[in-house]
């Protein structure tokens, strides 16, 4: 630790964002910035003594946690919290198996078999949660079409590339719905549906010309007195 804190002027920009950027470098206009693309390399941003010391402390803590995690796993294979997180991360970023094997031997990751078992276990748990949410009727669905082209390195007549077109369904929980009976409206809708051969309730007939009254009396799309844009454009501007 004495060696780490002695070198407080080292550059540890990879730990996080650069909060010590000199504001004078950000005051140039866009044209001036384009004319000086290498200014930040010639004059690196200055960091205060406290920032460098804090980043050294952060790096020391990270190294200490990694070392303790490796030692714990070597004594008990169930103490693999860090290795499990890194293993899932390596799987999600498609790290080659040979690289994962090396990191697993170094104590920085789980084995390939353990990673696959963890993915399978989490997939079963997520599927159970989705089924439970769907049965509660507090979930809506969003469908999307996607195409996958499985290309073959050396296609032949018997081994060709395949193109798959599929549809995915994403379950979206309905936040704020406490009583699922409020969502049981299919019977009420079918009772007034025009395709129902025996409707129990007379459907309300809507004349498209009656909708013109809503456009005539529309105040949402018209500017208020003394204002330049309408409330609708104001809402759009706020979202943008």
Q: What is the pLDDT of residues 5-16, one digit of tens each?
A: 555 445 444 444
The answer to whether residue 46 is domain-embedded is: yes
Closest CA to 137 of 174, 99, 90, 105: 174
Q: What is the pLDDT of residues 213-229, one digit of tens each?
A: 777 888 888 888 888 88
Q: What is the pLDDT of residues 127-168, one digit of tens each?
A: 999 999 888 878 889 999 989 888 877 778 778 888 889 999
Is the alpha carbon torsion for 157, 161, 163, 168 positive or negative? positive
The answer to whether residue 87 is domain-embedded is: no
Q: What is the pLDDT of residues 74-125, one digit of tens each?
A: 888 888 899 999 999 999 998 999 999 999 999 999 999 999 999 999 999 9
The answer to whether residue 97 is domain-embedded is: no
CA atoms within 13 A on the CB side of 68: 7
The total of structural domains in the chain comes to 2
Helix (H) or strand (E) holding 1: none
Is the alpha carbon torsion for 174, 176, 178, 180 positive or negative? negative
Of 42, 59, 79, the residue that ends a domain is: 79
The answer to whether residue 101 is domain-embedded is: no
The answer to whether residue 98 is domain-embedded is: no
Cα separation of 117 and 82, whole Å? 16
Q: Are 169 and 141 in contact (CB under 8 A)?
A: yes
The answer to whether residue 91 is domain-embedded is: no
Of 79, 110, 132, the residue that ends a domain is: 79
Q: Domain range for residue 227?
A: 180-239
Closest CA to 183 of 144, 135, 128, 131: 135
Q: CB-based contacts of 152: which residues, under 8 Å, 6+ apart?
A: 159, 160, 161
The answer to whether residue 21 is domain-embedded is: yes
Of 19, 44, 79, the residue that ends a domain is: 79
The answer to whether residue 103 is domain-embedded is: no
Q: What is the pLDDT of residues 121-137, one digit of tens each?
A: 999 999 999 999 888 87
């Amino acid at each position: 630790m004495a060696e780490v804190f002695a070198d407080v002027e080292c550059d540890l920009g990879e730990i996080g964002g650069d909060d010590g950027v000199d504001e004078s470098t950000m005051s140039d206009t866009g044209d001036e910035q384009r004319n000086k693309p290498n200014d930040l390399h010639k004059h690196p941003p200055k960091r205060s003594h406290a920032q460098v010391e804090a980043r050294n402390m952060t790096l020391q803590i990270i190294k200490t946690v990694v070392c303790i995690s490796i030692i714990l796993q070597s004594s008990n294979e169930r103490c693999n919290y860090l290795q499990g997180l890194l293993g899932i991360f390596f799987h999600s970023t498609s790290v080659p198996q040979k690289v994962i094997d090396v990191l697993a031997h170094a104590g920085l990751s789980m084995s390939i078999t353990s990673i696959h078992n963890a993915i399978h276990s989490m997939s079963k748990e997520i599927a159970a949660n989705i089924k439970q949410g769907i049965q509660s009727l507090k979930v809506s669905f969003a469908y999307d079409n996607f195409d996958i082209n499985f290309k073959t390195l050396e296609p032949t007549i018997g081994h060709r590339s395949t193109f798959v077109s599929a549809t995915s369904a994403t379950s979206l929980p309905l936040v704020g719905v406490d009583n699922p009976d409020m969502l049981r409206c299919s019977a009420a809708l079918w009772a007034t549906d025009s395709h129902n051969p025996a409707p129990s309730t007379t459907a309300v007939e809507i004349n498209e010309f009656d909708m013109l009254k809503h456009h005539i009396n529309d105040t949402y799309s018209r500017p208020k007195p003394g204002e330049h844009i309408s409330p609708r454009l104001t809402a759009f501007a706020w979202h943008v």
